[in-house]
Structure 1
Amino acid sequence: MSATAATAGKPSIPVPMLATLALLSAIAPLAIDMYLPGLPALGDDLHTSPAAAQLTLTTFMLGLAAGQLLMGPLSDSLGRRRPLILGTALLIVAGIGCALAPSIGVLIAFRFMQGLTGGIGVVVARAVIADRTSGDRSAKLFSIMMIITSAAPVVAPLLGGALIGPIGWRGIFYVLTGLALVMLLAVLTCVPETLPVERRHPFEAGSIAHNMGVVLRNRRYLGYTLTFSIGFGAMFAYISASPFVIQDLMGFSPGVFSILFAVNAIGIGIAGTVNTRLVGRVRPQRLLAVGVGMFVTVGIAMMLTTVFAPGVHWLLLVLMFCLTSSFGLTAGNATALALGEVRDNAGSGSAVLGTLQFVVGAIVPPLAGLGGSTSAVPMATVVLVCTLLSAGAFLTTRR
């Protein structure tokens, strides 16, 4: 069946609804990037080490993974709207807990809860698009969402850098709580139920396990999913290590770091915009191949730079921009192609994709941070390994 035929008769996704879905997907970059400039201050305030402070990133990612793995299959049974409302409401509670945390242990616990509840919105937002679109249209919408959500890592570190002085890292979490409230109101207003009762699967353990099995046995789905999720590992190596590399190793201030981080995030938006223009004229598989090729090239160049030219900071900054741009060309196409392979189990497919993405994201920070503030080589090593593994996964999708 053609993409056009597959989507014939389906309701469109109006702009307010698409913007709400993008906001739900933006919870991860918002909750990560906005407090990144405050990581060193957070560690000092709670009397903990940089490694322990970075664990607040790891536990958030684990929560995101768990929330998606739990709610993705359940949304195939319960529908999309009720899980969205519940998850977003609990996200508000988690944000308040983070803001009031008296110790690093309590903060880590509430960061896990913040990730868990935020993961519900992330996984269901993808499933909603898969409910209503397919083929080129799906790839284009996922790319548009990437453009919208790329505004989050542009604005978040700038806003975080500006607010960290007057309101501190705790104030950042209050701001995130306010954004969660806006998300809840947007869900109640703009997102209807998109999974008809006749397309839902029974709410039974056996049925859920069967659906997950169908998804996991699809070789091409797994190939596209691993291309995306392992590629995200390269991105997160940069995200988690860059505050220490740019501020401590290169000697830039938190404000300059926020600007540089925002500039790099713009690369995702530029690549996503280019992708939306090309989808329909160039097959998503070919666009994905170009993105993966760029990814590997940047990974190799970053490794060579950190080993043989560690003092050439401008070159490493340029490569960071190229890394984020490559991911912008990769993410939307890989997501659309993966979910296109499992349209009848979009919630389960979205759950596995998101879970693998954030499990990789949880593993990466401690490895990328091994150099602390003295070397960028561990970050570059993780980036290179992830880009090579991502390319290997893409090769498995060939028929």
Structure 2
Amino acid sequence: MITITRLVLILAAISAIGPLSIDMYLPALPQMAQQLDGTVSQTQLTLSAFFVGMALGQLLWGPLSDTLGRRPVLLGGMGCYAIASLGCALSPSIEVLTALRFVQALAAGAAIVASRAVIRDRFGGDEVAKVLSMVLMVMAVAPLIAPILGALVLIWFEWPAIFLVLFGLSLLLGVLAWQALPESLPLARRQPFILSQLIANYGRLLQDRALLGLLLSAGAMFGALFSFISAAPFVYIDLFGFSETEFSLLFAVSVLTSVISSHLNRRLLERFHAEELFKLATGYVALASVVLVGLSAFKALYPWGTIAGLMLFFLTLLPIAANALSCAMNLHPEMAGTVSGLFGVMQFGFGALMGALTGLLYNQTHWPMVATIAICGVLSWGGRYITPVAKK
């Protein structure tokens, strides 16, 4: 029988395919725009297309994993992801790359939604939040190393090599999952895949105000993250004047703050309920939004005030995500895959919207990025007030 530690490491590695797909090629965005004759906005659309693909794909993959089981959905997704990654490396234009990034995201969504559902299959109550915190903490190493790895690849190769690395990694993870990850959803708990029933299930979930509040709070935080991801390469490299390597290190430090807080969140779950920590974290992020705007406006601190404000803001990203998803799946444990899919829709739907918005508003200053992130922080705080979360 697989141990908890091994399960966490495998699920974290599989879930990391999402942030790796997003963050590893960030240092290459300016180079890609130049070589593929694309504008800043067109290049940022390769990110937004990925976010849209992840969001739409999980609407289907979540319910399918409730019907077929987690293992076939996960393995199928990894195989399709490998093929799409190879296609990205061979893309002749920014338009083709954008389309293939969408396909790549559809496939990645299968692995991510199935891995989250596995956790709810095996654990219950606040244990879900604890395990999710562990997975997210390990998974968050990917955004730490991905830009650095991408920058290192660019020292010797050009941007297509980054997608070749993702191709090889997906094959490796697929083999690992096939050998080591057992099926977690018994036949007796599977639900038939009937379109009318699927629509009815989503309708039922969307009428749950407690669930909607959780989805809004978590989705808004990921909207802030993807706004940062979309704009940071241009702001840090072109505007602040950092090199690709310096940008990668600063990006890694920004994410590291959330890794530390995720570890703290797991410890606090031994004394407090996930609902309580969720409310505390969303209160903090509202305050952090104000601090971010204030530090960014203080010219004497430019650009370090903005950088510090972003680090403080993203401190609660993973705690909000872990506690919100735990509470959401505990509200409807019989539809863990569907809830996980809906969570992914909000996560990457907000990401696509805010990432595209930040790109469209880009005016050679840091303010579109800062303003979008601060608004997302306020929205995350507001989600907790839609309705109180009932303890299960």
Give the TM-score normalised by the residue count of structure 1: 0.94
1:168 partner SS: coil
Query: For residue 63 of structure 1, what is the amino acid of its counterpart?
Result: G
| Aligned pair partner of 2:39 in 49, 53, 74 | 49
Q: What's the CA shift for 1:217? A: 2.1
Which runs of 5 or more residues in structure 2 are unaligned?
none
| Residues 186 and 397 of structure 1, relative CA distance in 2, 3 Å threshold | farther
The code of the aligned residue for 2:145 comes to V
Please name the residue that 2:238 is paired with. 248
Match runs of 1:65-104 below 5 Å: 65-104=55-94
Please report how far the alpha carbon of residue 287 of structure 1 lies from its aligned counterpart in structure 2 after TM superposition.
Answer: 1.2
Residue 391 of structure 1, CA deviation: 1.1
Equivalent AA in structure 1 for residue 370 of structure 2: A
> Match of 1:271?
261
2:95 is aligned with what amino acid?
G
Q: Choose which of 319, 327, 340 in structure 2 pairs with 1:329.
A: 319
Q: Counterpart of 2:158 in 1: which secondary structure?
A: helix
Q: Are the aligned partners of 1:248 and 1:373 in contact in 2 as well (CA < 8 Å)? A: no
Q: Is the 8 A contact 1:139 1:336 kept in 2?
A: yes
Q: Contact 1:36 / 1:243 at 8 angstroms: preserved in 2? A: yes
Question: How far, CA to CA, are the matches of 2:274 and 2:115 in structure 1?
Answer: 21
Offset of 1:284 from its aligned partner? 1.2
Task: Give the 4+ runs in structure 1 shifted more than 4 A.
Answer: none
Kindly state the Cα deviation for residue 234 of structure 1 after the two structures are TM-superposed. Answer: 1.3
Partner of 1:132 in structure 2? 122
> CA-atom RMSD, angstroms?
1.5
In structure 2, the residue matched to 1:282 is 272
Deviations 1:35-69 (A, max 9, x none): 00000000111011111000000001111111111
Q: Residues 26 and 233 of structure 2 are in contact (CA less than 8 Å); yes or no, is this contact kept in structure 1?
A: yes
Within 5 A, what are the aligned runs for 1:59-70? 59-70=49-60
* Structure-1 residue corresponding to 2:344: 354
Closer, same or farther: CA 310–76 of 1 in aligned 2, 3 Å: farther
**Percent identity at matched positions?**
38
3-state SS, counterpart of residue 395 of structure 1: coil
Structure 2 counterpart SS, 1:259: helix
- TM-score, length of structure 2 as denominator length: 0.96
In 2: Cα distance, 1:233 partner to 1:121 partner: 21
Question: How many Å apart are 1:133 and its aligned residue?
Answer: 0.8
Tell me by how many angstroms 1:335 deviates.
1.1
**What residue in structure 1 maps to residue 189 of structure 2?**
199
Quick check: 1:371–1:377 contact (8 Å CA) kept in 2? no
The aligned residue for residue 35 of structure 1 is: 25
Match of 1:159 in 2: 149
Instruction: For 2:81 and 2:112, locate their aligned partners in 1 and report how far apart those are by CA, in whole Å.
Output: 12
Alignment counterpart, residue 208 of structure 2, candidates 218, 240, 250:
218
The one-letter code sitting in structure 1 at the alignment partner of 2:169 is L
Alpha-carbon distance in structure 2 between the residues aligned to 1:366 and 1:346: 30
- State how far apart, in whole Å, the 1-side matches of 2:30 and 2:168 are: 24
Whether 1:363 and 2:320 are equivalent positions in the alignment is no
Residue 393 of structure 1 aligns with which residue? 383
* Per-residue CA distance 1:90-120 (angstroms, 9 max, x = gap): 1100000000001111101110011000001
- Tell me whether 305-314 or 70-79 shows the greater mean CA deviation: 305-314
Q: Is the 8 A contact 2:16 2:139 kept in 1?
A: yes
Any idea what the Cα deviations from partners look like across 1:152-209, whole Å, max 9, x if unmatched? 0001011111111211110000001111011101110121111111111112112222
Q: For 1:266 and 1:208, locate their aligned partners in 2 and report how far apart those are by CA, in whole Å.
A: 38
In 1, Cα distance between equivalents of 2:170 and 2:300: 41
Aligned residues: 389
1:345 Cα deviation after fit: 0.5
Aligned residue identity for 2:276: R
Task: Report the counterpart of residue 48 of structure 2 in structure 1.
Answer: 58
In structure 1, what is the equivalent of residue 10 of structure 2?
20
